[in-house]
């Protein structure tokens, strides 16, 4: 949600900031803005994409300084207007603020500041921060930021510059990510490494309540009371390279990430599967190996696509490790009064590691005595820092707003965790070894599915004008059906419902009319016959059946209008294959309908607000 980038150094800030904003645009893209100190503080803002801002800046004077900052917005408080776009300027000292997060006590602060004579021009919570810093400014920007943030409740990552101190950039964080890249006499600060990696090889992440004062000569890290703090974690090498965050020959990041899945799975499982010994080696869990032997219950919590992966994790844990497991929307779990018994592990599943509800749910569970585990992609993210242990996905940066390779990575990691736990209980080394063999074959099988891409596009083309779709599956592939529906909804804006196939008869069957597309995941498995009956129920009502089925299944072709094939695979691993044609369908539907696949309306990549 919202991307921020700030620069201080010896280069022109403007092009560098615009480039960074483009890389961060997937975090929010309803408006954008930039501030540069070029003698005085100058600000430009525009509704729409960063490219609109860039056009607006062409030929404009006053933006040639070597210190500046920019913002790409996903609106929370206040509509999508130029006035509400960041940066927000104060009314006294020539200072400006960019912000990612939500200030909860902004209304009370605004009244206080209005009483002090400040005049507001926007409806945002961020403008309150700039006015508060202004009110407390006595010639020391760092001190004013610290004092202001002592009054603020809520979440923030902010950057502040002031024309009275043109050689100082102050940044701070609580609850929203912020990373400082260190170059040669220059610093670039951003919401995530993608905006930094082209300019800095080393970086450090801010902890909550850290305030960093940066000049061209160095930086100082303090807390809100001006006590110096040591960095945790310390300065590290950035581990991503430019190719990972560039499109290459692909048209969209979502397409690139769908195609990256074979390699992403190889990276995810690499070094973790020991087929010879029949065991799974998860370094991230070794410190709590003893506690895991006493595990009595697993609660998997997440949102969106990550929740669908978690639901598959639940099936895996119960089926293969015989551990009682449940899944919870993090947003519900955190506000219920959940009973957390002794021996419970809560597993937070999240690509970004920044989802506000998932972070809060994990926190809540931990307070209640649960062991906190993470299945996270972004190393060093807020959730990963809150966990006792965890396993990273290692699938590389995911930039498309619609999650794809993170989903397969999440399911793969949950499968490995299950095998790790199962080996401590009922799974023999031979059984584990067999399953490892099947896991190792998955990337090749996904490559075979990707070869059908043209066929998936042609099938999608037949139904793309239809406004209502159903996605149906059973067992392990009920969550896959939910994921197929979510993918279609979020990027093509087609209404789609996912559900367990058997649930259809309890109401949704009334929706089926002539030609309505119903996508069935009908791979070979324990519930194959049942799914076949459900398919016939749809056919009897003149719905169009599109089946995702196992290669070599001749029977399905008699009942489904269209079949998308997946290679044979043991049922517990089948979601990692069955989801791929569904991702491709959603992708093609969005392209055929002319939508901006990587920047679907109203969405942002990570939801760092409630
Ligand atoms: O970063 P996270 O995995 O925690 O994000 C959770 C959801 O917001 C995310 O999966 C969302 O549903 C995706 N846009 C779906 O494609």
- For residue range 440-461, list pLDDT tens digits in order: 999 999 999 999 999 999 999 9
For residue 337, the model assigns a pLDDT of 85
- State the pLDDT confidence band at 563, using cuts at 50, 70 and 90: very high
Q: Is 358 in the pocket of ligand 1 (CB under 6 A)?
A: yes
Most confident of 188-197, 409-418, 530-539: 409-418
Residue 242 has pLDDT above 90, yes or no: no
- State the pLDDT confidence band at 74, using cuts at 50, 70 and 90: confident
Q: Please tell me the distance between residue 40's alpha carbon and the centre of ligand 1 in angstroms.
A: 41
- State the pLDDT confidence band at 504, using cuts at 50, 70 and 90: confident
Q: Is 260 in the pocket of ligand 1 (CB under 6 A)?
A: no
Q: Please tell me the distance between residue 322's alpha carbon and the centre of ligand 1 in angstroms.
A: 28
Helix, strand, coil tally for the chain in percent (to 5): 40, 25, 35
- Ligand 1 pocket test: which of 28, 312, 355 has the largest number of ligand atoms within 8 Å of its C-beta? 355
Q: Supply 192's token pair.
A: 């995530």
Tell me the C-alpha to C-alpha distance, in Å, between residue 166 and each of 61, 216, 288, 468: 18, 11, 49, 56
Q: Please tell me the distance between residue 423's alpha carbon and the centre of ligand 1 in angstroms.
A: 30
Nearest by Cα to 164 from 141, 131, 187, 189: 141
What residues have CB less than 8 Å from 140, skipping those under 6 apart?
none
Three-state SS at 120 = coil
Higher pLDDT, 75 or 478: 478
Nearest by Cα to 440 from 235, 276, 566: 276
10 Å Cβ neighbour count for 61?
7
Hey, whose CA ends up nearest to atom 7 of ligand 1?
A: 304
Hey, whose CA ends up nearest to atom 8 of ligand 1?
A: 304
Give the pLDDT confidence of 3-19 residue by residue, as tens digits: 999 999 999 999 999 99
Q: Is 527 in the pocket of ligand 1 (CB under 6 A)?
A: no
How many CA atoms lie less than 13 Å away from 17 in the CB half-sphere?
33
Q: Please tell me the distance between residue 305's alpha carbon and the centre of ligand 1 in angstroms.
A: 5
Phi, psi dihedrals of residue 449, rounded to the nearest 5°: -65, -40
For residue 391, the model assigns a pLDDT of 97
For residue 233, the model assigns a pLDDT of 66
Q: Are 609 and 514 in contact (CB under 8 A)?
A: no
Q: Please tell me the distance between residue 410's alpha carbon and the centre of ligand 1 in angstroms.
A: 12
Higher pLDDT, 475 or 62: 475
Give the pLDDT confidence of 312-357 residue by residue, as tens digits: 999 999 999 999 999 999 999 988 888 888 999 999 999 999 999 9
Q: Please tell me the distance between residue 490's alpha carbon and the centre of ligand 1 in angstroms.
A: 11
Residue 274 has pLDDT above 70, yes or no: yes
Q: Please tell me the distance between residue 303's alpha carbon and the centre of ligand 1 in angstroms.
A: 6
Residue 463 has pLDDT above 80, yes or no: yes
What percentage of the chain reaches a pLDDT higher than 90? 82
Average pLDDT over residues 424-436: 95
Hey, whose CA ends up nearest to atom 16 of ligand 1?
A: 402
What residues have CB less than 8 Å from 507, skipping those under 6 apart?
none
- State the pLDDT confidence band at 486, using cuts at 50, 70 and 90: very high
- Ligand 1 pocket test: which of 302, 303, 597, 604 has the largest number of ligand atoms within 8 Å of its C-beta? 303
- Ligand 1 pocket test: which of 351, 354, 375 has the largest number of ligand atoms within 8 Å of its C-beta? 351
Q: Is 598 in the pocket of ligand 1 (CB under 6 A)?
A: no
Q: Is 608 in the pocket of ligand 1 (CB under 6 A)?
A: no
Instruction: Indicate if the alpha-carbon torsion angle 129, 131, 136, 138 is positive or negative.
Output: positive
Hey, whose CA ends up nearest to atom 9 of ligand 1?
A: 304
Residue 358 has pLDDT above 90, yes or no: yes
Q: Is 355 in the pocket of ligand 1 (CB under 6 A)?
A: yes
Q: Is 490 in the pocket of ligand 1 (CB under 6 A)?
A: yes
Hey, whose CA ends up nearest to atom 14 of ligand 1?
A: 402
Helix axes 261-269, 429-450, angle to 10 degrees: 160
E strands within 148-222? 154-162, 165-174, 179-182, 187-190, 202-205, 210-215, 218-222
Q: Please tell me the distance between residue 356's alpha carbon and the centre of ligand 1 in angstroms.
A: 11
Q: Which residues are catalytic?
A: 2, 605
- Ligand 1, residue 487: give the atom nearest the CA: 16
Q: Is 305 in the pocket of ligand 1 (CB under 6 A)?
A: yes
Q: Is 352 in the pocket of ligand 1 (CB under 6 A)?
A: yes
Hey, whose CA ends up nearest to atom 10 of ligand 1?
A: 305
CA distance 374 to 360: 13
Higher pLDDT, 550 or 1: 550
Q: Is 381 in the pocket of ligand 1 (CB under 6 A)?
A: no
- State the pLDDT confidence band at 230, using cuts at 50, 70 and 90: confident
Q: Please tell me the distance between residue 308's alpha carbon and the centre of ligand 1 in angstroms.
A: 10
Q: Is 351 in the pocket of ligand 1 (CB under 6 A)?
A: yes
Average pLDDT over residues 139-148: 98
Average pLDDT over residues 408-415: 98
Q: Supply 299's token pair.
A: 């609660």
Q: Is 607 in the pocket of ligand 1 (CB under 6 A)?
A: yes
- Ligand 1, residue 406: give the atom nearest the CA: 3
- State the pLDDT confidence band at 138, using cuts at 50, 70 and 90: very high
Q: Is 303 in the pocket of ligand 1 (CB under 6 A)?
A: yes
Q: Please tell me the distance between residue 376's alpha carbon and the centre of ligand 1 in angstroms.
A: 12
What residues have CB less than 8 Å from 120, skipping those under 6 apart?
110, 113, 114, 127, 128, 131
Q: Is 410 in the pocket of ligand 1 (CB under 6 A)?
A: no
Hey, whose CA ends up nearest to atom 12 of ligand 1?
A: 304
- State the pLDDT confidence band at 77, using cuts at 50, 70 and 90: confident
Q: Is 350 in the pocket of ligand 1 (CB under 6 A)?
A: yes
Query: What mean pLDDT is reported for the chain?
Result: 94
- State the pLDDT confidence band at 432, using cuts at 50, 70 and 90: very high
Q: Please, what are the domains in the chain?
A: 3-244 (3.60.20.10), 248-449 (3.40.50.10490), 452-596 (3.40.50.10490)
- Ligand 1 pocket test: which of 1, 306, 489 has the largest number of ligand atoms within 8 Å of its C-beta? 306
Q: Please tell me the distance between residue 404's alpha carbon and the centre of ligand 1 in angstroms.
A: 10
Q: Is 606 in the pocket of ligand 1 (CB under 6 A)?
A: yes
């Amino acid at each position: 949600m919202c991307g921020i980038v700030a620069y201080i150094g010896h280069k022109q800030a403007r092009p560098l900031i615009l480039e960074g904003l483009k890389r961060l645009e997937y975090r929010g893209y309803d408006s954008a803005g930039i501030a540069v100190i070029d003698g005085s503080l100058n600000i430009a803002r525009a509704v729409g994409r960063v490219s609109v801002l860039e056009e607006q800046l062409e030929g404009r004077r006053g933006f040639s300084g070597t210190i500046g900052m920019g913002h790409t917005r996903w609106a929370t408080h206040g509509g999508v207007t130029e006035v509400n776009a960041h940066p927000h300027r104060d009314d006294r000292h020539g200072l400006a603020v960019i912000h990612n997060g939500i200030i909860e006590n902004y209304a009370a602060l605004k009244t206080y500041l209005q009483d002090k004579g400040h005049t507001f021009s926007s409806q945002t919570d961020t403008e309150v921060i700039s006015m508060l810093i202004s009110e407390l400014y006595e010639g020391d920007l760092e001190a004013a930021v610290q004092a202001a943030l002592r009054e603020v409740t809520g979440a923030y990552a902010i950057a502040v510059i002031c024309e009275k101190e043109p050689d100082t950039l102050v940044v701070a964080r609580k609850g929203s990510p912020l990373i400082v890249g260190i170059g040669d006499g220059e610093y670039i600060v951003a919401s995530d490494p993608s905006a930094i990696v082209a300019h800095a090889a080393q970086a450090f992440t801010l902890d909550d309540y850290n305030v960093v004062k940066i000049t061209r000569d160095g930086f100082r890290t303090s807390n809100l009371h001006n006590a110096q703090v040591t960095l945790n974690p310390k300065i590290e090498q950035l581990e991503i390279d430019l190719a990972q965050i560039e499109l290459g020959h692909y048209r969209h990041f979502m397409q690139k990430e769908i195609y990256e899945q074979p390699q992403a799975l190889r990276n995810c499982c690499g070094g973790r599967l020991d087929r010879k010994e029949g065991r799974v080696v998860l370094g991230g869990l070794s410190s709590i190996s003893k506690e895991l032997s006493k595990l009595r219950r697993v609660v998997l919590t997440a949102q969106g696509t990550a929740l669908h992966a978690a639901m598959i994790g639940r099936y895996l844990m119960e089926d293969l490790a015989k551990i009682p497991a449940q899944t919870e929307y993090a947003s519900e779990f955190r506000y219920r009064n959940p009973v957390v018994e002794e021996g419970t592990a809560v597993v937070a599943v999240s690509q970004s590691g920044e989802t506000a509800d998932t972070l809060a749910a994990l926190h809540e569970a931990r307070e209640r005595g649960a062991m906190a585990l993470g299945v996270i992609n972004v190393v060093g993210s807020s959730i990963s820092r809150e966990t006792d242990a965890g396993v990273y996905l290692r699938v590389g940066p995911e930039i498309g707003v619609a999650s794809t390779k993170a989903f397969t990575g999440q399911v793969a990691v949950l499968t490995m965790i299950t095998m790790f736990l199962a080996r401590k209980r009922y799974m023999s080394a031979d059984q584990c070894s067999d399953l490892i063999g099947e896991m190792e074959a998955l990337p090749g099988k996904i490559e075979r599915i990707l070869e059908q891409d043209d066929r998936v596009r042609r099938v999608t083309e037949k139904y793309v004008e239809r406004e209502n779709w159903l996605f149906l599956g059973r067992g392990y592939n009920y969550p896959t059906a939910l994921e197929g529906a979510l993918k279609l909804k979020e990027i093509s804006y087609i209404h789609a419902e996912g559900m367990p196939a058997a649930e259809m008869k309890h109401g949704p069957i009334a929706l089926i009319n002539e030609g309505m597309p119903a996508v069935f995941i009908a791979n070979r498995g324990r519930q194959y016959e049942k799914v076949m009956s459900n398919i016939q129920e749809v056919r009897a009502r003149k719905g169009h059946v599109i089946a995702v089925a196992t290669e070599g299944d001749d029977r399905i072709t008699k009942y489904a209008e269209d079949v998308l094939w997946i290679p044979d695979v043991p049922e517990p691993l089948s979601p990692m294959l069955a989801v791929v044609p569904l991702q491709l369908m959603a992708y093609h539907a969005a392209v055929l309908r002319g939508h901006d696949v990587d920047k679907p309306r109203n969405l942002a990549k990570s939801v760092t607000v409630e």
